[in-house]
Structure 1
Amino acid sequence: MTETHATLPPGAPAFPPGRYGRRREPRRRRPLLTTLLVVALVAVMTLVSVRLYRQYGDPNYDAQVITYTGITDSQVLVDFRVNVPEGGSAVCLLRARDRDGAEVAREEVTVTARPDQRQVTTQHRLATTARPFIGEVVRCRPPA
């Protein structure tokens, strides 16, 4: 049986018989596959978010360099402030770089707050292998 204009619903296209082959049935949707893909995407995004938060964000251990002074051929004094949980401590990674940006010193320093204190201000002397240009706090983290 061929399609004629009389047997087609209004608005449906009329195809000449035999020209386009057999008409396909509409494909079944696969909601299970779509759901699994969405769940996998959410899991991957959650893992990426957790890793980035651990690497870059913990506002409880925020550090700021106040000054770096006492620059000689073999040292720099770094004054810095660290926010820690009340009465807690932090391990901060300090480094010094020369004028070209090469690292000339690196050291981990543990700072501890008094029981009623959230900010710790301290000074640390970094021994360097060459004349430093800048002293900086790379990051602070909770003690292991």
Structure 2
Amino acid sequence: MTETQTTDGRVPETVQVSFPEGRYGRRREPSRRRPGVTAAFTAAVVAAGMAAAWLLTESYGQDELSERLLAFDDSVPGQVEITFEVYKPAGEGAVCAVRSRDLAGAEIGYAEVEIPADDSTHVETTYVLPVEGDVNTGEVLRCWQAD
């Protein structure tokens, strides 16, 4: 038996339902579609989103300084050699925080490395960080402009 058949096999006719006058309140007329209002609202939302993205990028976006860890070498006990690169404005110096952690995640070495001011915008540097314990990682936390 399918859904469109009754128990005796007949196919039911489509019945038009009519409600008693005034019993369920006034039936609403279908509302008009307003494509102009929808388009204006959509454009306003997109413009507001783009303005918010621009403001947040200006406030919290990429600084002129950026750093990237290239390698770390922990083959010598008591120290870790951290190699990293810094992109900075030409003629300005920078300071970078480097650290090392052990297997438990505890900090076992920390230093602030000064990058001298010169005309280059890309500096690759290697720093030997003394540590107290077994090295698991060597990291560059962040860099900022030197005073």
TM category (shorter chain) comes to: 0.5 to 0.7
**Is 1:104–2:108 an aligned residue pair?**
yes
Query: What is the match of residue 128 of structure 1?
Result: 131
Q: Is 1:53 equivalent to 2:55 in the alignment? A: no
CA contact (8 A) 1:96 1:106 kept: yes
Matched residue, 1:89: 93
CA contact (8 A) 1:72 1:131 kept: no
> How far does the alpha carbon of each residue in 1:48-83 deviate from its partner, in whole angstroms, 9 at most, with x for none?
x59x729xx41x210011110143331100011000
Once the two structures are TM-superposed, the CA of residue 113 in structure 1 deviates from its matched residue by 4.7
- Which residue in 2 is equivalent to 1:118? 121
Aligned-pair identity in percent equals 30
Deviating beyond 6 angstroms after TM superposition, the runs of 4 or more aligned structure 1 residues are: none
Give the alignment's TM-score, normalised by structure 2. Answer: 0.57
Q: Which one of the candidate residues 136, 141, 144 is aligned to 1:138?
A: 141
Q: How does 1:20-35 map to 2 (within 5 A)?
A: none
Tell me the SS of whatever aligns to 1:114.
coil
The CA deviation at 1:143 is: 1.0
Larger-Rg structure: 2
Structure 2: gaps of 5 or more residues:
1-51
State the TM-score, normalized to the length of structure 1.
Answer: 0.58
Other-structure match for 2:83: 79
SS in 2 for 1:99: coil
Counterpart contact for 1:65–1:79, Cα < 8 Å: yes
Whole-angstrom CA distance in 2 between matches of 1:122 and 1:130: 24
| Helix, strand or coil at the partner of 1:78 | strand
Matched residue SS, 1:73:
coil
Offset from partner CA, 1:81-134 (integer Å, 9 cap, x none): 00010122110000001122211111111112532x100111101011112111
* Unaligned runs of at least 5 residues, structure 1: 1-44
